[in-house]
Amino acid sequence: MTQSLASKTALITGGTTGIGLATARLFLAEGARVAVTGQNPDTLTAVRAELPKALVLRADARKVEDAARAVDEVGKAFGGLDVLFLNAGVARFAPIDGFDEAFYDDMMNVNVKGVIFTLQKALPLLRKGGSVILNTSVVASRGVANASVYSATKGALSALTRALATELAPRGIRVNSVSPGPIATPIYGKLGMPSEAVSAFETSMKSKVPLARFGEADEVAQAVLFLATSTGSFVNGSEIAVDGGLASST
């Protein structure tokens, strides 16, 4: 079997559950040396047990000093980086008149500030030929009620993908994003809504997806792998929708 990431190194933020964990498993199977970050002690412990070959780092995406420390540890362990998957994110839903400043700050800090400063700190490690992948969302291009702040964070990442693809191309670094639709991950247990409201939301999302189902984290990981490897060598500034057709449907 070919190993498309043999001798490559990768850092995956939010690599302890869901899409990040599925990507870590795939990258390891493809021969990469992989580091993952997270902040929850329980999920960090679980991933250390499941992926003993991975470098598992505690780093809160909201804290620039944590990003700097994690990147420093990756540099010491790997010497450089070929792939950076900026995946850590939180989703909380509330109507526009139903949240406070802390709700806004928390999502912006994890989803936008964390991405920008982790990339800034990791840039000196990224080798020529490197690939940076952001994780946006279908909500950046399709209106979803009660998801205003979350959508704003993901819209910011869409714009960031295009700006950075242009800015980092002269350094030989490609920047792209994956834009998942509804994917079955633990994120749905953390939306801050009652479980009946989450179930109703899931049913409604499923009915809108042309392929009529939720995606699997592995299906997003495959798109990330394409962008990470030389197979995607002329893809830059793109956003790959992994959403069963949701963004392009009426």
Ligand X SMILES: NC(=O)c1ccc[n+]([C@@H]2O[C@H](COP(=O)([O-])OP(=O)(O)OC[C@H]3O[C@@H](n4cnc5c(N)ncnc54)[C@H](OP(=O)(O)O)[C@@H]3O)[C@@H](O)[C@H]2O)c1
Residues that bind ligand X (CB under 6 A): 14-20, 37-40, 43, 60-62, 87-91, 110, 135, 137, 180, 182-183, 185-187, 190
Q: What is the smallest separation between the CB atom of 40 and ligand X, expressed in angstroms? A: 3
Q: Which is nearer to ligand X, 52 or 170 (CB)?
A: 52
Contacts for 159 with CB less than 8 Å, ≥ 6 apart: none
Is residue 104 annotated as a catalytic residue, yes or no?
no
Q: What is the smallest separation between the CB atom of 104 and ligand X, expressed in angstroms? A: 15
Q: Would strands 9-13 and 33-38 be described as parallel, antiparallel, or unpaired?
A: parallel
Q: Which is nearer to ligand X, 167 or 218 (CB)?
A: 218
Q: What is the smallest separation between the CB atom of 129 and ligand X, expressed in angstroms? A: 25
* CA distance linking residue 203 with residue 106, whole number of Å: 27
Q: What is the smallest separation between the CB atom of 15 and ligand X, expressed in angstroms? A: 6
Contact 190, 92 (CB under 8 A): yes
Q: Which is nearer to ligand X, 19 or 149 (CB)?
A: 19
Q: Which is nearer to ligand X, 168 or 242 (CB)?
A: 242
Q: Given 78, 93, 117, 150, which residue is catalytic? A: 150
Contacts for 24 with CB less than 8 Å, ≥ 6 apart: 12, 15, 34, 36, 47, 51, 54
Report residue 170 as tokens. 């002269």
Half-sphere exposure of 237 (CA within 13 A, CB side): 10
Active site residues: 150
